[in-house]
Structure 1
Amino acid sequence: MKYLSILSFMLLCTPGWSQQWAKQYDYVDDWYCGLCIVEKDGKHGFVDKEGNLVVPLIYQEEMHFNEGMAAVMKDGKWGFLDSTGKLVIPLQYSEVYTFTNGLGLVMKNDKYGFIDPSGKAVIPLIFDNASSFSEGLAVVSKNGMWGFIDTHGKEVIPMKYSYAVSFNEGYAKTKRNGKWLLIDKNGKESPAE
């Protein structure tokens, strides 16, 4: 009976990619938004739960779905698919990151900014460097100085740091005048030890 229980558990919990259709691919990933990344001969696409190829095997790279969007790359340019597998943001960016807080971090012409799910640049591509939003703020830099913006693009902590990392548990590590500092979301500084 114990053997039968273990066998039943294994059959019930076996991932969907163990289906017969999966054998035709070199690589099969996990499910996100009802789609699964597959790879064959170095090309990537997406299949649905029945194994139907929803997004053709034409992409060189891809990222998992986050907030209903997945980044894909072809011929060195990135764009985004929606959860139906439709390319909704054209392949035009040299770098992209997953959507967080409803915004996708993108780079074009060596400048970073943020787009919404329709592809509209809601925070202009004006930054020399940037990171995705964390705890409602994104660390950005211009002319070698770092600061933080909110999801509307408003600078909430001035770009006065020579280095900064994203917020984690209410604090971000920064560097100014050669000293490491911790700052809170109001910009209050304390020495980092």
Structure 2
Amino acid sequence: MRKVLLLACIICLALAATAQKKKKILVPYLKGDLWGYSDTTGKIIIKPQFQEAGFFKEDNNMYYAQGKINDKDVLITEDGKFIEDEFTDGGISMMSMFEEGSRIFFTEEKSDPNIKGYVYDKQKNSIVLSDKYGTCYSFFNDRKGMFVQEKSSQLIGAIDPAGNVLIPFQYEHSIETYGPRNEYIRTKKGGLFGIIDLKGQDVLPFKYSSLDPISHDGTHLLGNTGGGYQVIDIHGTMLFPDLVFNAKYANGMICCRRAGYYGYLDTNGNIAIPFKYRVAAEFGESPAEGDFAYVTNKEGVSFFISKSGREFYSK
């Protein structure tokens, strides 16, 4: 028992000591069949010797990576030392993980059948609705209009405080506003996504099974037409001339397939990393982190790349 406690103390001291130093950015580097670590330029810092190697992480003032050597799970310090990890349940998972985004709604405070539209109480930051309307989504035009759901039809439109309809109740999905002045609205009609303006006029046809912003102001979009993905601006202009497939956006890059191989586009539709990989994941997707992605080349070898296209792999 005393030996176990002593070993635990040595592990904690070794890992805590590395956390006190200035942390290097170390990238898992595959050389042949073994993993080591390099800096961001590809210079080897920790020699390849591990069967598996994950990214370094900070946890409780400890800076370490998880790996495997001689079929044993180990904790790796940034100076290349490692100790057996007796506390993990298994090796490092190379499976991708997906996150589902969340939506924020205004909630109804109370109902009053005598109120035609809504009353917004700035002091309480609350909204009073009539029995005619349900969920509130967002204000627009300096709070002179609000997107709401009509209880009878369950459809979404927009009204002013007096209950006058500003945008007809014909939309089926929660409202997302885009553009430098939030002048464009992404919503859903007939089961498909499109874009309207604040007058309810169509800006982008309702023909996309998914339509997601890829620029800060939401004026560049990734739209799924059912037959493939388009990289477009808010008016439907193609930023990349061809359809792409299996497209996913993350961390400023679009991972997608074209002519049978995966590559990456930037948010302006330019090819950032050529289409040359058999399999590829989004940047930051597990087992990668941050500005790195996990890919598999034409020979079936899997390794990490950076946003500049640098491959952390050599034969």
TM-score bucket (shorter structure):
0.7 to 0.9
> 1 or 2, which has the higher helix percentage?
1
> Shift in Å at residue 53 of structure 1?
3.2
Name the structure 1 match of 2:123: 12
Give, in whole Å, the separation in 2 of the partners of 1:86 and 1:116.
17
- CA gap 1:50/1:162 in 2 versus in 1, 3 angstroms: farther
> Shift in Å at residue 63 of structure 1?
4.0
With a CA cutoff of 8 Å and minimum separation of 6, indicate the structure with the bigger relative contact order. 2
Q: Determine if contact 2:155/2:170 at 8 Å carries over to the other structure.
A: yes
Q: Determine if contact 2:178/2:186 at 8 Å carries over to the other structure.
A: no
Equivalent in 61, 70, 95 of residue 185 of structure 2: 70
Name the structure 1 match of 2:206: 91
Q: Which amino acid in structure 1 is aligned with residue 135 of structure 2?
A: Y
Equivalent in 215, 222, 237 of residue 105 of structure 1: 222
> Shift in Å at residue 80 of structure 1?
0.3
Q: Determine if contact 2:240/2:270 at 8 Å carries over to the other structure.
A: no
Give, in whole Å, the separation in 2 of the partners of 1:140 and 1:32.
35
Name the structure 2 match of 1:187: 309
Q: Determine if contact 1:63/1:98 at 8 Å carries over to the other structure.
A: no
Identity over the aligned pairs, expressed in percent? 24
> Shift in Å at residue 110 of structure 1?
0.7
Q: Determine if contact 1:149/1:157 at 8 Å carries over to the other structure.
A: yes
> Shift in Å at residue 179 of structure 1?
5.2
Q: Which amino acid in structure 2 is aligned with residue 38 of structure 1?
A: V
Could you report, residue by residue, the CA deviation over 1:8-59 in whole angstroms, capped at 9, with x for unpaired residues?
xx961423xx1345x4212222446756432223212234566643221101
Equivalent in 125, 130, 135 of residue 27 of structure 1: 135
Q: Determine if contact 2:292/2:307 at 8 Å carries over to the other structure.
A: yes
Q: What CA RMSD, in Å, does the superposition of the two structures yield over aligned residues?
A: 3.1
Which range is displaced more, 113-122 or 79-88?
79-88
Could you report, residue by residue, the CA deviation over 1:73-95 in whole angstroms, capped at 9, with x for unpaired residues?
22233210234543211223333
Matches within 5 A, 1:9-158: 12-15=123-126, 18-21=127-130, 23-31=131-139, 36-40=146-150, 41-47=153-159, 52-67=164-179, 68=182, 69-98=184-213, 100-101=215-216, 102-132=219-249, 134-135=251-252, 137-158=253-274
TM-score of the superposition, structure 1-length normalised? Answer: 0.72
Give, in whole Å, the separation in 2 of the partners of 1:39 and 1:105.
26
Q: Which amino acid in structure 1 is aligned with residue 158 of structure 2?
A: F
Structure 2 residues without counterparts, runs of 5 or longer:
1-120, 285-289
Q: Which amino acid in structure 1 is aligned with residue 291 of structure 2?
A: G
- CA gap 1:11/1:65 in 2 versus in 1, 3 angstroms: closer
3-state secondary structure, aligned to 2:283: coil
Give, in whole Å, the separation in 2 of the partners of 1:181 and 1:49.
57
TM-score of the superposition, structure 2-length normalised? Answer: 0.48
Structure 1 residues without counterparts, runs of 5 or longer:
1-9
3-state secondary structure, aligned to 2:123: helix
Give, in whole Å, the separation in 1 of the partners of 2:160 and 2:200.
9
Name the structure 1 match of 2:38: none
User: How many residues of Structure 1 are paired with residues of Structure 2 in the alignment?
Assistant: 178
> Shift in Å at residue 159 of structure 1?
2.0
